Every structure is written in structure tokens, then in C-alpha cells.
Copies of this chain bind each other. A is one copy, B any other.
Amino acid sequence: METAAGLPSTGAELRASVRAGRYRYPTSGVAPDFVQTNVAILPRAVAFDFLLFCQRNPRPCPVIEVIEAGQVEARMSAPGSDIRTDVPRYRVYRDGSLVAEPDTLIDLWRDDLVTFLLGCSFTFEHALIRNGIYLPYFGSCRNVSMYITDIQTVPAGVFRGPMVVSMRWIPGAKVVRAVQATSRFPAVHGAPVHIGDPARIGIRDVMKPDFGDAWEPASPDDVPVFWACGVTPQAVAMASRLPLMLTHAPGHMFVTDLKDEDLAVI
């Protein structure tokens, strides 16, 4: 394991560390300022429908890069990478069920698989931190809270299902700033989808996340703020009962060579 002092500081370093089997942890706060991505890997037969699903649901599924069938390198965002080995932990969904969490995809790879790299909120977390907002899990090897909501995505082909969101406790006085700071980054989920009452988006108990870890507010003044999350394709894999979808494990992202500011629109 990498020590805190020895955490990889760039995307390339982190990928090398993962590929060598030394890093198998959540990636929040690691290689800060480098764009991290969610991963969804699907057979070519459904690739158009999934890309269209992403186009119709850009907040949970903002596409950073697509690796075409027969290729394993993210040539634009991470030259030299190998999507089969460079993610700290993977998930395998078959017929809508999570069936395995392997360390690599080497044994599962097929030449008809298309990889979608989707923007991740870890990018805008750096913007939140620069704006004085504390994120307790940041750099801790623990994970943000994520929930399956009752907000429905816009279907495309076989793909349909609920939106997954991530939640951060934001001090009341900083909520406006949090909206502003994340609005600059539509390619990594952008502005929040909801501020305040979790029940309004179908979340019964914020202390019982569907993915990741639970976090108490630091102060009674903190407001729960919800952003669309790139784990949504995993909820969609389950809801759509897809025969096969390979993904990252929540919080265990693919880290690119892009810098966060490359994705700012303004």
C-alpha cells in the first residue's frame, strides 16, 4: 500500500501503482487536479444505445472519452493506459446482478467491448476545497455517500433506470458558492441536482447510502447537497438487467492525465 506521504501525485503515477497491484483503494483526493473518471464497459451491440443514453443524461453520464471496440488505451485522456488493469477495483454485472469485484479485467476481456469514461465529481471536489468547503473523506481512502434516487433517467434503447447521486454536507453559508464552483464543470456532473430534503428525491435515510460510506454533518447548520453521480450506469445495469456490464467499483476511479481546469467551461 502507498503511504499517505507516498500517495501518487499524477494520473500516470496512480495508474502505474494500480497496474503494479500496489493501490486498491478509493481514489478521492489522490492525484489532485487530475481528472478521475467513472468506467462503463459494454458490448459493441449496445454501444450506440449507451452513448445515446449518456447524451440524454449528461449530468449523471458526462462522456470524457470512448475507447472503441478492440482497443484498451484511453489515447486522448490517458496515453499509455490499459483499461483492463489501471482501475483499483472493478465490478462485474451479469443479468443485472453484481457477481464479482476483480482486481483486473484481463481474464474477462473481449474484443467487442467498448469503454465509456464518464466524468466524476472528484474533479469538482477540488473546486469545493479551494472554496473552503471541508470534505471529510477527501484523501482518506474512504468514500463519498451515494444513493439511488427516485429521479428517473431518460431511457435510450435498453438503458433505463434511476439516477444515482452523491451527497456532501455543505455549510449553509457556502451553498451558493458550492453551486457556482461546480457549475463551471458540466463535464463532471456540474451543478447540484438537489439541495436540502433528501426525501424529495426518494432518499429515506442519508445515513444509509446505497454505495460508499455514511457521513455525519460537521455542524447542525450543514445542508445536504446532491450531485448527479457516475455510478448511475451501475444502477441502470441492474434496472435494465443487462447481460454484461463491467465497471469500476464505486469510488475506485480511472485517473486520466487531463487536468481539472481542462474541463471548465468558463
Contact = CB atoms under 8 A, between A and B. Distances in A.
A188 interface: no
Nearest to A266: B183
A190 interface: yes
Contacts of A47: 48
A52 interface: yes
Instruction: Give the size category of A's interface with B.
Output: 20 to 34
Is chain A's interface secondary structure helix, strand, loop, or mixed overall?
mixed
A177 B6 CA distance: 45
A55 B47 CA distance: 13
Contact of A48 (B51, B76, B184): B51
A56 B191 CA distance: 23
A153 to B, nearest CB: 13
A180 B68 CA distance: 35
A63 interface: yes
Interface string A228-241: 00000000000000
A139 interface: no
Interface of A: 47-48, 51-52, 55-56, 63, 66, 68, 76, 154, 157, 180, 183-184, 186, 190-191, 265-266
